[in-house]
Structure 1
Amino acid sequence: MALAQRFCPWRIKDADQKALYLRGDQLLVGDPNVDNCCAEKICILPNRGLDRTKVPIFLGIQGGSRCLACVETGEGPILQLEDVNIEDLYKGGEQATRFTFFQRSSGSAFKLEAAAWPGWFLCGPAEPQQPVQLVKESEPLARTEFYFEQSR
């Protein structure tokens, strides 16, 4: 069994228990029962090249063949999915930091901070069927807490 396959049993949900799902090239948050979607299985592998006390992780979808990356736009970072294998990142691929998130515990939930952009966090949208994005920690009403649930 491939390394990524062993680490893909996760679903990520926001504080309202809405799951991350893929539509086109974007990760959205929604209710699979209402939005006619299927919660995405997420692969999680550690970034062994960064400080392990900060719990650096890679997030992959589609069996680990695509990974969430943080890309600079000139107005701050944005999220995008890139066709890069999570196992290559795990083995020490180039530019791995922009694919890395620090997993911070917040009670039973987690916040995911972009390693390449300290103070920027993965954020679920307030409106349904909108993409997940990055926001500054200071953003009021930011929906930055997520729950990891093992999928069956």
Structure 2
Amino acid sequence: MSANLQEGMEKAGGDEVPSGGVRPALEYPWHCRLTDINHKILILQNDHLIASPPNSNASEVVFDIYPNRGIMGNVIFIGFNGRVLSCVESGGGPPQLKAVPGNIKEMYNEVNEFRSSTFFRKPGGKETYSLESAAFPGWFISTSPEPNKPVGLSRQGATEITEFYMARI
């Protein structure tokens, strides 16, 4: 994550909740790009998030990020274009990552847990983070090592990539 996004999250109480139990309010989300450690960008294609090489002709998704004020810890909501990233059950299989209609500003203002749309932001490498589902502990936002595959959820240690750079715009 870029230093300025980290600094902004710390100023807004991104890592700790004040003694009153509620983080200070933000007027606007942080806008950022997410790229995996192989530098694939995230694009929207046919209503699915896809991890694509940076030289593709598609437009990179710019994400809106708010801290989740309803859960203690380093937790965030991730949204874009009137959608919210959410983790859902998949009929007995592993959980799935979906971009569902929603407004993260309203979720942020409501000060509720919203576990299915909440991600723990965990330090990875020097400048990278893993994004763990609050609803499905042990499952992380991930990309395939191969280009042009859907973004999903996986466990760490599998072949999928679970570390991302977060660059504030």
TM-score bin, normalised by smaller chain = 0.7 to 0.9
Q: Please say if 1:85 is aligned against 2:107.
A: no
TM-score, normalised relative to structure 2: 0.78
- Name the counterpart of 2:151: 132
- Name the counterpart of 1:29: 51
* Greater Rg over alpha carbons, structure: 2
* SS in structure 2 of the partner of residue 89 of structure 1: helix
TM-score, normalised relative to structure 1: 0.86
CA-based RMSD of the aligned residues comes to: 1.8
Unpaired runs of 5+ residues, structure 2, are 1-25
- Name the counterpart of 2:20: none
Q: CA deviation at 1:129?
A: 1.1
Q: Please say if 1:41 is aligned against 2:71.
A: no
Q: 1:10 aligns with which of 29, 32, 35?
A: 32
Shift of the 83–95 alpha-carbon distance from structure 1 to 2, 3 Å rule, reads farther
- Name the counterpart of 2:164: 146
Q: CA deviation at 1:138?
A: 4.0
Asked if the contact 1:8/1:41 (under 8 Å) is kept, the reply is no
Please give the alpha-carbon distance, in whole angstroms, between the structure 2 residues aligned to 1:28 and 1:79.
Answer: 12
Deviates more, 1:142-151 or 1:112-121: 142-151
Asked if the contact 2:71/2:113 (under 8 Å) is kept, the reply is no
Tell me the percent identity. Answer: 35
How many residue pairs were aligned?
142
Shift of the 27–138 alpha-carbon distance from structure 1 to 2, 3 Å rule, reads same
Q: CA deviation at 1:113?
A: 0.2
Please give the alpha-carbon distance, in whole angstroms, between the structure 1 residues aligned to 2:71 and 2:112.
Answer: 13
Please give the alpha-carbon distance, in whole angstroms, between the structure 1 residues aligned to 2:47 and 2:80.
Answer: 11
- The amino acid that maps onto 1:39 is E
Q: 1:57 aligns with which of 76, 80, 90?
A: 76
Report Cα offsets for 1:79-109 as digits up to 9, x if no partner: 1111100111112377711000000011210
Asked if the contact 2:68/2:111 (under 8 Å) is kept, the reply is no
